[in-house]
Amino acid sequence: MTTAVPTLPAFADVLSAAARIAPHAQQTPVLRSQSLDDMVGCRLHFKCENLQRVGAFKFRGACNAIFALDDVAASRGILTQSSGNHGAAVALASRLRGTSATVVVPEGAPAVKLAAIAGYGARIVRCAPTMAARNAAAAALAEDTGAHLVHPFDDAHVIAGQGTVALEFLRSEPELDALLTPVGGGGLLSGCALAARTLRPGLEILGAEPKGAADAHASLREGRCITDMVANTICDGLRGQLAPRTLALLRRHVDGILIVDDSAVIEAMRLLWERLKLVVEPSGAIALAAVLRNRERFAGRRVGIVISGGNVDLDTLPWQAHA
């Protein structure tokens, strides 16, 4: 039996992605907070992808994948499956490319993210909240429509696009000692690791993963994709599980995965709202949460934190729901 080896993006693909998405994506700011630094005991630099278009880094990867298509392929429409931010990103990037989008959304996705997908003009198809159901529904629609499937992370163009986060980050902050990003399916972490390992070979590159969806940690330990976990975490954007492509990149470039419980995520989220004045969703706060729970590890160092997204239901906040 042979297994197809997935195409892995290279550093040059991240550079190409940066050029391709430049007319559409934001160069997001890097913010600092003296009071957070004092509290945590290291120098934190926050790359604010919650200020990216659609409110999440996901726009970078989707934009790169969709603008890389030739006109004929793009004209057949775009298809994806996503619990939220990637769906909105595909919807907006498709509209900017002048084509249609269909998004398969699992039951239980946050209302604010569904509204965003619909707001950018995409068609929504609901499915059961499992990766198997999502993939099956997307595959069936792809066959029916001929639309191009843009996977949320198991796609070389998507990974290269997400890598532009680290490219920008390290260009504006060349002195970082460590870089932390959230990890769900691994698109952001693997893309950033690919870019960062080339730009700064000695940089420590870490993922932050919720305790209730710690498949990336287990997958790296066992050297294979663990796909049978049932996610249970407030981090709705981090329920995805690694694919062979992202696992291969993480094994090559990443120094470790820090596991964080939801209470630390809520604490970090509130700190980001209070101190940085940024609206950050739970998944977007997990890298800071990992620092809060591992202060001695980062003491005195210059730590780059990727705030991955800011799409959160403002009717009830997590610290209220948990009060």
Query: Which residues contribute to the site for its own copies (CB under 8 A)?
Result: 29, 31, 34-35, 50-51, 53, 55, 112, 119, 270, 273-274, 276-280, 310, 314-317, 319-320
- Identify the active-site residue in 16, 33, 82, 83: 83
Q: In sequence order, what DSSP letters do the residues of 96-108 get, joined into one string?
A: HHT--EEEEEETT
- Identify the active-site residue in 58, 190, 283, 308: 58
User: Are the C-beta atoms of 85 and 311 separated by less than 8 Å?
Assistant: yes
Structure tokens at 264: 């630390």
C-alpha count within 13 angstroms, C-beta hemisphere, residue 185: 22
Fill in the DSSP letter of residue 7.
P
Q: In sequence order, what DSSP letters do the residues of 201-247 get, joined into one string?
A: TT-EEEEEEEGGG-HHHHHHHHTS---------S-GGG-----HHHH
For its own copies, the closer of residues 188 and 258 by Cβ is: 188
Tell me how far apart the alpha carbons of residues 145 and 316 are, in angstroms, rounded to a whole number: 39
C-alpha count within 13 angstroms, C-beta hemisphere, residue 129: 13
Is 283 catalytic? The answer is no
Tell me how far apart the alpha carbons of residues 247 and 187 are, in angstroms, rounded to a whole number: 10
Tell me how far apart the alpha carbons of residues 188 and 146 are, in angstroms, rounded to a whole number: 27
Tell me how far apart the alpha carbons of residues 249 and 271 are, in angstroms, rounded to a whole number: 32
Instruction: Look at residue 110 and give its three-state secondary structure.
Output: coil
Is 211 catalytic? The answer is no
Catalytic residues, by residue number, are: 58, 83
